[in-house]
Structure 1
Amino acid sequence: MKKVHLLIAICVACMWGFNFSIIKLGVGEMDPLILTGLRFSFAAFPAVFFIKKPQVATRVLAMYGLTFGVGVWGMLTLSIHLGISAGMSSLILQSSAFIGVILGVVFLRERLSLVRKIGLLTSILGLGLIFTIEDGSVTFIGILFACFAAISLSIISLIIKKVTINNMFAFVVWSCIFAPIPLFSLSFVLNGTSGFEALAHNINYLGVFSVLFQAYPVTLLGYWSWNKLVAQYPMSTMAPLTLLVPIFGLLGSVIFYNEQIDIIKLVSCLMILSGIGIGLSEGFMQKIKHKLSYN
């Protein structure tokens, strides 16, 4: 991998990791569902007026947009609002990697090797440890919403796996138009007009910064840059770099919110990331063996 491309990948992972702290910043200024709705509103508009609709069925765009906007980021932002720290939310969301393995077994009838089973069990035990944390950085209901977000992120992987997408940037932009209305509607159902009234009277530069940072650098620039690299390099190269996201997420929470990393958090983090790493390492080793046998 070229050094400049490695640097870009690390920068994107850093931005995605620190974004969890930016989400927490926004949650302190406005309703979490409205915050997420505004994020996807700005990510979609005015870009859809300048970018041609991708050659993908509208139902696929809608399914992806709803799952990505509401299922992943709506629920993840809500989990932060319900007491999950920025650092722990980034770690729980990363568990989508092994949840995706489970979904692959159930829906795609994929078979697991012994190594992948060990990795899966390690990650699950690490996630279970999070439920024992008692320092105020997690809540039971918050963990449930964050896990729902992780499951939704895994479902997105299934959608991408089943659909041929020629222009990923256009796909992301156009899918974003399906997220705002459901998010705003869900906020109205849960809280009435209070969230919108508070936004109209109390909007400030912190809330605006949180929305715009999530919409443009994170959603559009981040996914465009990352997918360009994914198209150029094998997944065995790119996938391990995603493990940097929760590390930067925890680091951002420590820096901006003084989150304490005790032994349980550290062990949980190591177990989740190690389990994912074990699964990734098997694919990497198989690729090396294939190349050696081919040569």
Structure 2
Amino acid sequence: MPIRDLLLVLTTIVIWGLNFLVIKLGLDGLPPMLLGGLRFCLVAFPAMLFVKRPQLPVRWLLAYGATISLGQFAFLFEAMAHGMPPGMASLVLQAQALFTLIFAAVFIGEPIRLASLLGLLVAASGLLLIGLDGERVTPLMALLLTLCAAAMWALGNVITRRFGKINLVGLVVWGALIPPIPFFGLSLWLEGTDRIQMSLRSLDLQSVLSLIYLAYAATLIGYSLWSNLLSRYPAGKVAPFSLLIPVVGISSSAIVFDERLSELQWIGSFLVMTGLAVNLFGRNLLHQLRSRLG
């Protein structure tokens, strides 16, 4: 991969890694469901005027918007509002790769290969250790909500496998039309009109910049760069870089928010990253080993 494209990959990873810090900053001034609704309004408008609608039946666009856009971020924002640290959120959310394996096997009959199963077990043991840390560092409810966010992302992944080759940016932009109304409805129900009015009246520069970053940098720019790379390289060459997202999330959160992981969380984080790496690279390594032995 040329240096220019490598820089594009790393730029995308940094944008997505810092995304978790920005969510925390946004939640300082806006409640989670209102933040979600405003974010996706900015993603969809005015981008939909310039981005072609993907050639998909409406039901599949609804399914994508309801899982990856609404479900994932409703649970993630709520988790971080309930104390999930940004760095740990960036790591636990990567459990989507493991949920994707399980859901793909259950719903579309994809086999779980030996390397993937091993990776799943290693990463699951890491998540268990993080959970055993209890309320001391990471609230259990926040951890469970983040795992729900990962599961919704995984459901969306399984759904998008039915689409075949598709313009990722178009899917993200038009899928962003789905979440605003449910987000605002959830905001009215969970957060109430008084809190909504107070948040909007006291909207400050930090909240505005957070919304701009979440909508345009993390979503439109991030997915545009990623889509461009996927169109020119095999997914196997691009996807492994996503392992760096938690590295950026954890290190930047430590710098900005002084987030510190407990010893148990460090061990759990190592196991999660190892499991994800085994899932990504294990099949090729086994194939190479068999070729040498054979």
Could you say which TM-score interval applies, normalised by the shorter chain? over 0.9
1:153 is matched with: 153
TM-score by length of 1: 0.93
**Higher mean C-alpha displacement, 109-118 vs 88-97:** 109-118
1:238 is matched with: 238
2:29 is matched with: 29
The separation in 2 between residues aligned to 1:202 and 1:210, in whole angstroms, is: 15
The separation in 2 between residues aligned to 1:137 and 1:68, in whole angstroms, is: 28
Letter in 1 for 2:190: L
2:87 is matched with: 87
1:85-124 correspondence to structure 2 within 5 Å:
85-124=85-124
4+ runs deviating over 4 angstroms = 286-292
Displacement after TM superposition at 1:10 (Å): 1.1
Mapped contact 1:165–1:171 kept (Cα < 8 A): no
Which secondary structure does the structure 1 equivalent of 2:176 belong to? helix
How has the CA–CA distance of structure 1 residues 180 and 288 changed in structure 2, closer, same or farther, with 3 Å as cutoff? farther
Displacement after TM superposition at 1:223 (Å): 0.6
Displacement after TM superposition at 1:282 (Å): 2.6
Deviations 1:113-148 (A, max 9, x none): 332222111000001111122575411111111011
Displacement after TM superposition at 1:286 (Å): 6.9
2:56 is matched with: 56
1:132 is matched with: 132
Mapped contact 1:236–1:284 kept (Cα < 8 A): no
Q: CA RMSD for the aligned pairs?
A: 2.0
Letter in 2 for 1:238: V
Mapped contact 1:56–1:165 kept (Cα < 8 A): no
1:187-206 correspondence to structure 2 within 5 Å:
187-206=187-206
Displacement after TM superposition at 1:288 (Å): 6.6
The separation in 1 between residues aligned to 2:8 and 2:288, in whole angstroms, is: 25
Displacement after TM superposition at 1:275 (Å): 0.5
2:39 is matched with: 39
**Higher mean C-alpha displacement, 63-72 vs 14-23:** 63-72
Letter in 1 for 2:70: V
Mapped contact 2:70–2:178 kept (Cα < 8 A): no
How has the CA–CA distance of structure 1 residues 230 and 285 changed in structure 2, closer, same or farther, with 3 Å as cutoff? farther
The separation in 2 between residues aligned to 1:178 and 1:194, in whole angstroms, is: 25
The separation in 2 between residues aligned to 1:215 and 1:98, in whole angstroms, is: 27
2:19 is matched with: 19
Mapped contact 2:137–2:262 kept (Cα < 8 A): no
Displacement after TM superposition at 1:276 (Å): 1.0
The separation in 1 between residues aligned to 2:101 and 2:176, in whole angstroms, is: 26
**Higher mean C-alpha displacement, 145-154 vs 58-67:** 58-67
Deviations 1:97-124 (A, max 9, x none): 1111111221122223332222111000
The separation in 2 between residues aligned to 1:79 and 1:199, in whole angstroms, is: 19
**Higher mean C-alpha displacement, 98-107 vs 86-95:** 98-107
How has the CA–CA distance of structure 1 residues 272 and 160 changed in structure 2, closer, same or farther, with 3 Å as cutoff? same
Which secondary structure does the structure 1 equivalent of 2:115 belong to? helix
Which secondary structure does the structure 1 equivalent of 2:29 belong to? coil
1:2 is matched with: 2
Q: Using the aligned pairs only, state the percent identity.
A: 32
The separation in 2 between residues aligned to 1:48 and 1:287, in whole angstroms, is: 44
The separation in 2 between residues aligned to 1:291 and 1:177, in whole angstroms, is: 49
Which secondary structure does the structure 2 equivalent of 1:20 belong to? helix
Mark the runs of 5 or more structure 2 residues left unpaired by the alignment.
Answer: none
The separation in 2 between residues aligned to 1:24 and 1:156, in whole angstroms, is: 24
Mapped contact 2:31–2:191 kept (Cα < 8 A): no
Letter in 2 for 1:156: G
Mapped contact 1:88–1:137 kept (Cα < 8 A): no
How has the CA–CA distance of structure 1 residues 122 and 129 changed in structure 2, closer, same or farther, with 3 Å as cutoff? same
The separation in 1 between residues aligned to 2:287 and 2:160, in whole angstroms, is: 22
The separation in 1 between residues aligned to 2:263 and 2:4, in whole angstroms, is: 36
Displacement after TM superposition at 1:285 (Å): 3.9
How has the CA–CA distance of structure 1 residues 260 and 158 changed in structure 2, closer, same or farther, with 3 Å as cutoff? same
2:175 is matched with: 175
The separation in 1 between residues aligned to 2:141 and 2:135, in whole angstroms, is: 15
The separation in 2 between residues aligned to 1:145 and 1:30, in whole angstroms, is: 19
The separation in 1 between residues aligned to 2:18 and 2:201, in whole angstroms, is: 28
Which secondary structure does the structure 2 equivalent of 1:55 belong to? coil
How has the CA–CA distance of structure 1 residues 249 and 30 changed in structure 2, closer, same or farther, with 3 Å as cutoff? same
Letter in 2 for 1:126: G
Displacement after TM superposition at 1:65 (Å): 1.2
